[in-house]
Structure 1
Amino acid sequence: MGEYSFKYGDTTLITCIKDEHIIHLLKPKHVDSIIDIEKKVNEVLDNPIGTEALRDIIKPGEKISIIVSDITRAWMQSNKFVIHIVNYLSYLGVKDEDMFVVIALGGHRKSTKEELIAVVGKEVLDRINVYDHECEDKNELVYLGESSRKTPIYLNKRVYEADRVILTGGIVFHIFAGFGGGAKSILPGVVGIDTIQANHRLCFNPGKSSGLNLMAGPNIVQGNPLREDMNEVCKIVNPDFLFNVILDTEGNFIKFVAGHFYKAWYEGGLFIRSLYGVPVQSQADIIVASAGGFPKDINLYQTIKTMDNALYGGKENSVLILASECRDGLGADEFAEWFKYTTLEDMENALKENFTVPGYAAYKTAYTANHRKVIFISNLDDDIVKDFNMIPCHDLDEAMKLAYEICEIENPKITLMPYGGNTLPISM
């Protein structure tokens, strides 16, 4: 018997499992964190992937647009690197009044003053203009035609009129776009709501009640219709440079990639795959996954990534023990509202009419409960957990006992995911 621990809120859950039952223990590889952030930022700006150094692209007098993710991507800590990009441009002779930031809100609400400080830092906010993108204001958008998948392309007017466009962002596994970062700064970041809706609907198969397109998932780039559409739209916009960051499970910067919007981003994706993608030889009968403790398990909405990652490591109708404290309940109000649809089909058809990311997260919650037997360890009310077609539990030992009973296999294959929000099982 081996003792295994899983983060839960501010505490740790511990249980003992027979070693011979465990087929995989999924942990990310260790990479040293970046100590001198400014030095490393300047290094990659001068030595990019797939394009000229930024100093050879930018000319004084040009209008420079820097696209920065909004507060929902606060985990990437853009306030720690945007200032260095601004200073780099200043060193090249670009005046503060000739550069500006566009916050890539996508379809999200406008930023508060406090959120803008958190995203770009007070010095940047005091020095240069910072604008929120507005996806529903047609007066602030320029129409650029359609993608090959018939996605109408409405682009932020300030971005369109800029002489140079620099993308920033962070790379992680993404629930339907393969990886975050890259072209996502453009779509959904600074395009119109019609563009976002048309693109995001590609995560489903065409037609009514047709189900998920399983190629629109984490770690999939080639053949992923949604990501390929994002990349095509970004190519049409033709940004001049990209700077993306990668962080470890503790929130430390471990790698920066810069250069061509696709080539540099894809190299970052390969790094994520090697760091957090864990090869698995066989699918499990039981998966035990933690969202990673507070703040990663602050609510159910933030837990969806762990739930989705765990899907890829288990057999159909296998048992998933999911540990997520959810001290703040369900999370986003809109996320909870989507559960008024009581079937996957109804939820899917509603999403095809009005796609939102919280709605998709609600769909994946229902989808997981439909395809796995989920034992949910949380602080949520038991009746709420049951409403989601999951089994409520408050003790890991009890959950393990219940999983063995449900599984009805004498020697079940068990996969452990103590870093469920970051690690992705990749079938070999």
Structure 2
Amino acid sequence: MTKMNVPYYKGMMEIDIPEKNLLGVLESKANKYRISKTQEEIVEEALDNPIGSNSLEEIVKGKNTLTLITSDHTRPVPSKVTLPILLRRIRGANPNIDITILIATGFHRPTTRDEMIEKFGVEIVENEKIINHVSTDDSMMVNLGKLPSGGDLIINKIATQADVLISEGFIESHFFAGFSGGRKSVLPGVASAKTIMANHCGEFIASPNARTGVLMNNPIHKDMVYAAKKSNLSFILNVVIDSEKKVIHAVAGDSEKAHLKGCEFVMDLAKVEKNPSDIVVVTNGGYPLDQNMYQAVKGMTAAEANCKENGVIIMIASCADGHGGQSFYDNIVNSKSPRELLDRISKVKRNETVPDQWEFQILARILDKFTVIIVTDMWESKYIESMHMNHAKTFDEALKKAFKIKGEDASITVIPDGVSVIVR
């Protein structure tokens, strides 16, 4: 047996794979990337050397108001490292500037105070003005016109009405936007639900260019870049993190140019060569991304890219927070089959996209080709099975089920962190 430890919720899960079955392990080079600098030094160096823009200090001089977009509780952005540095440098250049921290929830639920404290630290939560973006609250929004795709560009006015708009985030591969970070702070981060729906429509999600690691001709990315420019996102700080959620690289500066440099770095680390197998074992990188089924779909797409058709995907994800989206859950549960759901989505017009459609569309695409077994001891079987998936409380139980489907000689590939790799 080959023993491995893979991320599971806030810890690790030990799994045993028979050596005769193990075809390979696909891992990002980020896990072995070593740098002698501290996280703080990496961030400071990026801010000292902005890409394609003036320095942050020059940008904020003489301005009265600033909105700083940051990520919500579902993203492992190390804000305890980055935010204090950003705030110190901003106030060092402009002590009287009025700063609002806007949490980019996208279409997610608001971040709770406890989650803010865990993410930002007590001092920032108690002393800074922090506001949750609520995509369904029309009173928070302003219409900035049309996206290239034709959808309405409606953005949180707290972002658009400030003298300066900046954002912090992190860059990793993204299952339909190509990469996270950069322009995603605006769309979907602080966009109206209406705008998010149009951008995440079935037509765009079905595009072969709306895939992990792809920016060229990606219709979703194109809209996002336009939204960031139209909102005057003038400066970004984006970091790259390893499996321990530690900063190993950072870029700062122009929202498009700096982001592209960060994406190049991530591609170099994350790209792995596929080795198609009968069974693929994958995780969502542990907490916070494995806390619900909605997010777990992301890791499944890495397995999808490496699994033989009619193969088995074993997804290890706590789903401690349940399904993660009522519309997501209801649409999967109320469909007769994944194929029936896909056929129905194909007939939905762009401006009639429903909440979470993109997520259940991608999950349906996976379930239409593969058997998925969810490994968790933190969510009930009845919910998982109602979503056209199998459930196992332990990895051993899941592996037995997979062998029963594909045979005792089935080949196995392990992807310890599905959201950290780009399978090519």
TM-score interval for Structure 1 and Structure 2 normalised by the shorter chain: 0.7 to 0.9
Match in the other structure for 1:45: 47
Q: 1:238 aligns with which of 216, 229, 232?
A: 232
CA distance in 1, matches of 2:44, 2:239: 13
Deviations 1:113-140 (A, max 9, x none): 3344444444334444333334344443
Match in the other structure for 2:124: 124
Q: Which is greater in Rg?
A: 1
Deviations 1:202-244 (A, max 9, x none): xx227xxxx8223212211111111111112212223211111
Specify every segment of 5 or more residues in structure 2 that has no aligned partner in the other structure, as ranges.
none
CA distance in 1, matches of 2:349, 2:27: 34
Q: Which moved more, 1:328-337 or 1:26-35?
A: 328-337
TM-score between both structures, scaled by the size of structure 2: 0.85
Aligned with 2:332: secondary structure? helix
Q: Which moved more, 1:265-274 or 1:138-147?
A: 138-147
- Superposed counterparts of 1:296-315, under 5 Å: 297-315=290-308
Displacement, 1:312?
Answer: 0.8
CA distance in 1, matches of 2:362, 2:169: 24
Contact 2:328–2:355 (Cα < 8 Å) also in 1: no
- Superposed counterparts of 1:312-327, under 5 Å: 312-326=305-319
Aligned with 2:148: secondary structure? coil
Contact 1:4–1:17 (Cα < 8 Å) also in 2: no
Match in the other structure for 1:152: 152
Which letter maps to 2:221?
Answer: R
Aligned with 1:60: secondary structure? coil
Q: 1:422 aligns with which of 407, 415, 420?
A: 420
Match in the other structure for 2:258: 264
Q: Which moved more, 1:255-264 or 1:392-401?
A: 392-401
Which letter maps to 2:6?
Answer: K
Match in the other structure for 1:91: 92
Displacement, 1:61?
Answer: 4.0
Displacement, 1:146?
Answer: 0.9
CA distance in 2, matches of 1:158, 1:328: 29
Displacement, 1:265?
Answer: 0.9
Match in the other structure for 1:167: 167
Q: 2:223 aligns with which of 223, 226, 229?
A: 229
Match in the other structure for 2:71: 69
Aligned with 2:124: secondary structure? helix
Aligned with 1:321: secondary structure? strand
TM-score between both structures, scaled by the size of structure 1: 0.84
Q: Percent identity?
A: 30
Aligned with 2:52: secondary structure? coil
Match in the other structure for 2:354: 355
Deviations 1:84-137 (A, max 9, x none): 1111011113315x3222222323344443344444444334444333334344
- Superposed counterparts of 1:99-114, under 5 Å: 99-114=99-114
Displacement, 1:275?
Answer: 1.7
Specify every segment of 5 or more residues in structure 1 that has no aligned partner in the other structure, as ranges.
none
Contact 1:102–1:131 (Cα < 8 Å) also in 2: yes
Q: Which moved more, 1:336-345 or 1:166-175?
A: 336-345
User: Cα–Cα, structure 1 residues 349 and 288, in superposed 2: closer, same or farther, change >3 Å?
Assistant: same
Contact 1:42–1:84 (Cα < 8 Å) also in 2: yes
Deviations 1:338-384 (A, max 9, x none): 33431323466679634334x53333333222111334444455555
Superposition CA RMSD, Å = 3.1
